[in-house]
Copies of this chain bind each other. A is one copy, B any other.
Amino acid sequence: MIKSENIKVCVFDAYGTLFDINSAVNKHIEKLGENSEAVSSIWRQKQLEYSWLRSLMCQYTDFWKVTQEALDYALNSCGIENNKLRGELLDAYMHLDCYPEVEEVLKDLKEKGIVTAILSNGSPEMLKAAISSAKLTDYIDVVLCVDDIKVYKPDPKVYKLVTDKFNISKEEVLFHSSNSWDVAGASSFGFQVAWINRLDKQKETLPFKPDMEAKSLNEVSKVFK
């Protein structure tokens, strides 16, 4: 259960939560044909895996480079050698669609006087481009990214960027993520956490649980009404 009366800042993960990561591949589905689904899912899986492994290895490189390395793995796994298409997919990732309810939810929170922020693995350039092309600039107060601390989620140093920035306690943050591992990290850190389980994914068997599970951001914003 979310204790909404305590919440001062609503923080959103970016990729998969605000922005539809499958929309990059969907824009080029005709060129990818039967490989579309595999490219999209392997690209994402490797992007996460490489971000975790590089954090653990103390070999941070920014998320744009991680995204490129992961796409190369995905294209290799489907036997696709096509530099032009590679460039187009990366460009599409730079300008992802956001999910349909996002603008309305952010606007609503702003009207209620709640501060909004993004906390993402994305590089500053990636986040700037995504926010701008999804026309969300007016609804996001603060963008926090990992580039200054050179480590990825779910390292607690990442979640601490929020409490340091706003000088608030962990319980005063409502963190939203579609990514179950990010939910575990934020819950382990001590945030109140909503799991936006858009695709009805299986629950993790880790002991760090969300305070709420919802199908879309709409359901969460209702706790403030």
Contact = CB atoms under 8 A, between A and B. Distances in A.
A210 interface: no
A185 B56 contact: yes
Contacts of A76: 202-203, 205
Contacts of A204: 73
A154 interface: yes
A181 interface: yes
Interface residues of A, number: 33
A199 interface: no
Determine which residue in A46, A52, A73, A185 has the highest number of CB atoms from chain B within 10 A of its CB, and name it.
Answer: A52
A135 to B, nearest CB: 33
A149 interface: no
Interface in A127-149: none
A56 B50 contact: no
Nearest to A151: B56
A211 interface: no
A206 B50 contact: yes
B205 A72 contact: yes
A144 to B, nearest CB: 18
B156 A57 contact: yes
Contact of A77 (B49, B53, B156, B202): B202
20 contacts: A49-B181, A52-B52, A52-B56, A53-B181, A53-B185, A53-B206, A56-B152, A56-B155, A57-B154, A57-B184, A57-B185, A57-B208, A58-B155, A58-B156, A70-B205, A72-B205, A73-B204, A73-B205, A76-B203, A76-B205
Interface of A: 46, 49-50, 52-59, 69-70, 72-73, 76-77, 152-156, 181, 184-185, 188-189, 202-206, 208
